[in-house]
Structure formats: structure tokens, C-alpha cells
Amino acid sequence: MQTQLPESLLDSPQGREADAILRRCVHCGFCNATCPTYQLLGEELDGPRGRIYLIKQLLEGEGDADTVRTHLDRCLTCRSCETTCPSGVKYSRLLDIGREQAERQGTRPWQQRVMRWGLRQLLPFPRRFALLLGLARVLRPLLPQSWATALPAVNKASVAGANIAVRHPRRVILLDGCVQSVAAPEINCAAARVLDHLGISVQRVTDGGCCGAVEQHLSAPQVAAQRMRRNIDAWWPLTEAGAEAIVSTASACGLQVKDYGHLLRDDPLYADKAQRISAQVKDIAELVADSPAPSSAGPRPRVAFHSPCTLQHGQRLGGVVEQILRDWGFELTPVADGHLCCGSAGAYSLLQPVLSDRLRADKLVALRRGSPQVIASANIGCLMHLRQGAESSLPVRHWVELLADCLPNK
């Protein structure tokens, strides 16, 4: 694609990066075929090719920033288009730049600004989120049915409380996560048990925090960068002391930390450290896949696995969890259109509820088709979102919990 970005923009690292990405796009439109919003809405401007063109226009000083922002807001950032693109267009990088520009040049309605501000004040803070969750539980009878059923049960599980000693020479840092640490602490307990069984001890870092993905995707990249620096400072001593990896059980958080090296590349104090931290991050699937499955056989439920976009398109780990589950003796039911997003996509389900609900409904139809006994996934956002739409007789769990169920002395 030919570009004519102004010299002032081409003088900046961001402008040069956008220009290089735009020039890779040959406008073939293959990406539209696997884009969930293009499939739902059938509009060129709600598919990746159209969005790329909108961003190009905006960067070239044409186009209306508010219109561009509307179409970029509808994008799930699922990166399915990146997996499909034969030219290697890094759409998500361009999207970040386009969103920042649209935000700067346009005027977002105040209701949306308030909503986004509220989410940024809530989601990355476990104590605030726990308070809201507690309040919601009290008000459960007044909530819509789908919200009431999706509220996680009170669970006092914690990795610290599980009392699993750090006893192996192999050690990893296990990220707590923000929302997950409140809504589903049992996931990291299961992860610690599975890793312990595989000869790997977990260490926790209490003075880290949210990975920064919430702010990154809610138009506050500077706040996100502050979080990243703080996390690097918190993790650094443990990695220097021999922790072999930084492990996440939430694929969205893992992807964000894998991106630290890129996101902080222009920070003179943190660029090198960020690169090294990113190189050490692993989704828990990468560790489990490298270890032999236990030989003990026992009854296993039939599983429909939903691979989060952040796992399959972002981290390019599609098929890894599915193979682990098979190796551990689970039967996987077929799931059509597994490349499509479930509609959770961070705060998307709250900001674009109509599109999000349609995507979830389609996803649940695909997941149920093989009559599974349990749905499994790998990211807290997807788990909570799918639970909200699934009937109570069909549990939705993290896949690592299914492995933990197979271990002795549960």
C-alpha cells in the first residue's frame, strides 16, 4: 500500500512503525474472511482491511477521527486477522497507533469517557474489584439472571494458603493477575499443584500488580507503562535469583507481558530489562507441554476447549493446550470456527455488549455441539464471559483445573 504520511509523523518512531506496517498491506482482503466483526456486520469498515485504510487516512491528515474511532472501538483486538494475513501485517501494533491518534484528534462522548475511566479505576485493583463483587453478591436477587449466574462463588483459595512448599530446584514466578486473583483464585492453586507435581515450585510476587493490559486497551498507555515498570522492578530480583520463567495462567496477561519489550522499547531506563522480562514469560501451557503426562488413568470428562484469541493469535500457541489435554487422557469434542473470538476481549463485553453477546451465543452453540461435559478455556475473561451465557449444568473451567483434578490427594 502506498502511503503519504506527513514528515512530522515520519520523524517519530511511532510514525515510522505505522508507515512500515501500512506498506506491507497489499489490500488483498484475506483477513476479512476470519474477522468476527466483519462476519457479523458485513461492512468493509468493520473488517481489518477497512480499519487499516481508516488508520492510514487519519495518519495522513484525512478522515474524521470520531468516525475512525467508532470503527476501531468495534474491533476486538483478537488478532485473528494477523494469523490469516499472508503479508505479515502487524495489525495490532497499527491499531494501537490508530487508536491513540483517533483519541487525540477526536472527542469521545462524555458517557464513554466516564465508563472507560470507571473501568480503569476498578479492574486493575483487586481490592476495589473484590468490594464490588461483594456488593453484587448481596444484590444478586436484583441483578439480571445472566449477571446473577455469572457471579463467582466466594472462594478463599490462595496459592499461599494452599501451603505448597518451594521445594524443587526448578522455580518460576506465578503471576497473580488482578481480576483473576479475586474472581477465580482457585485457578492459580490448581496451577501450583500441577507444577509442583511436574517438579516445578512457584514463587509469588506480592508487590507487583496488574500487567497493564486494561489501561493499554482503554486509551491510557502512559499509565500502562508505569505499571509495566513497577512489575519489572518487582520481578527482577527473583529472575536474577534463578527463577527460570514468569508464568501466567491468564493468556491475555501473558501476552501483555510478552509485549513489554516492544512497549517499553523507547524507555532508556527500562528497554533492556523489558526485553529480558518478555523473553522469560511463558503461558503455563508452554511449561506443562514440556513435561511428561502422568501415567495414571481414570475417568475424565469430555471437554470442549475454547482457545482464547490471546493464546492462539496473540501468543501463537494454538493447539498446545488441546494436545496437553489429550496427553492427559481427556477426550476433546470438535469445535467449529475455533479461530473466532467469544466476545469477551477484555472490557469489550462491557463497552460493546450487543456485538459481544452475539459472538458469545455463536461460540456457545459451537462449543455445545459435541455434547461436552465441561467447557475449558485459558483466560479469566473468556471463562467469566462464557459462564454468563452457559447453563449451570455445563461448567466452564480453566484447563489447568482439569489437570489438577487428575492428581492424587486433591
The Cα–Cα gap between 195 and 179 comes to: 22
- For residues 89-108, which are near ligand SF4 according to CB under 6 A? 89, 91
Q: Using CB under 6 A, which of the segments 85-93, 97-105, 201-209, 251-259 binds ligand SF4? A: 85-93
Interface with ligand SF4, residue 381, by CB under 6 A: no
Of 274, 198, 290, 266, nearest to 236 by C-alpha is: 274
Phi-psi region of 316 (alpha: psi -120 to 50; beta: other; left: phi over 0): left
In the complex, least distance from residue 251 CB atom to ligand SF4, rounded to whole angstroms:
15
Interface with ligand SF4, residue 79, by CB under 6 A: yes
- The grid coordinates of residue 341 equal 473470538
Sign of CA dihedral 250, 377, 159, 324: negative
Residue appearing with cell numbers 508507515: 19
* Residue closer to ligand SF4, measured from CB, 29 or 152: 29
Q: Using CB under 6 A, which of the segments 22-30, 142-150, 165-173, 326-334 binds ligand SF4? A: 22-30
The Cα–Cα gap between 177 and 393 comes to: 28
Q: How many residues bind ligand SF4 (CB under 6 A)?
A: 26
Interface with ligand SF4, residue 75, by CB under 6 A: yes
Interface with ligand SF4, residue 85, by CB under 6 A: yes
Helix or strand holding residue 245 (H, E): strand 245-248
The Cα–Cα gap between 191 and 53 comes to: 43
The Cα–Cα gap between 219 and 216 comes to: 6
Please state whether beta strands 245-248 and 200-203 pair in parallel, antiparallel, or not at all (unpaired).
Answer: unpaired
* Residue closer to ligand SF4, measured from CB, 49 or 217: 49
Q: Which of 4, 87, 107, 296 binds ligand SF4 (CB under 6 A)?
A: 87
Which residues partner with 198 through β-bridges?
none
Q: What is the per-residue binding string for ligand SF4 in 32-71, x denoting contact by CB under 6 A?
A: ---xxx----------xx-xx-------------------
* Residue closer to ligand SF4, measured from CB, 91 or 125: 91
Q: Which of 22, 77, 125, 389 binds ligand SF4 (CB under 6 A)?
A: 77
In the complex, least distance from residue 386 CB atom to ligand SF4, rounded to whole angstroms:
18
* Residue closer to ligand SF4, measured from CB, 200 or 345: 345
Other Cβ atoms within 10 Å of 202 Cβ, number:
24
In the complex, least distance from residue 13 CB atom to ligand SF4, rounded to whole angstroms:
22
Of 28, 29, 22, nearest to 2 by C-alpha is: 22
* Residue closer to ligand SF4, measured from CB, 76 or 304: 76
CA atoms within 13 A on the CB side of 168: 17
Interface with ligand SF4, residue 193, by CB under 6 A: no
Q: Which of 21, 22, 54, 81 binds ligand SF4 (CB under 6 A)?
A: 81
Interface with ligand SF4, residue 26, by CB under 6 A: yes
Residue appearing with cell numbers 493469535: 313
Q: Which of 80, 181, 249, 388 binds ligand SF4 (CB under 6 A)?
A: 80
Which residues partner with 245 through β-bridges?
172
In the complex, least distance from residue 382 CB atom to ligand SF4, rounded to whole angstroms:
14
Q: Are 310 and 379 in contact (CB under 8 A)?
A: yes
* Residue closer to ligand SF4, measured from CB, 28 or 130: 28
Other Cβ atoms within 10 Å of 218 Cβ, number:
21
3-state secondary structure of 232: helix
In the complex, least distance from residue 47 CB atom to ligand SF4, rounded to whole angstroms:
6
Q: Which of 31, 65, 191, 355 binds ligand SF4 (CB under 6 A)?
A: 31
Q: Which of 76, 150, 191, 324 binds ligand SF4 (CB under 6 A)?
A: 76
- For residues 204-233, which are near ligand SF4 according to CB under 6 A? none
Q: Are 29 and 85 in contact (CB under 8 A)?
A: no
* Residue closer to ligand SF4, measured from CB, 23 or 230: 23
Q: Which of 22, 25, 284, 402 binds ligand SF4 (CB under 6 A)?
A: 25
* CA distance readout (Å), 29 to 81, 340, 366, 376, 399: 10, 17, 25, 32, 35
> Would you call 42 exposed, middle or buried from its count of C-beta atoms within 10 A (0-12, 13-18, 19+)?
exposed
Point out which residues bind ligand SF4 (CB under 6 A). Answer: 25-31, 35-37, 48-49, 51-52, 75-81, 84-85, 87, 89, 91
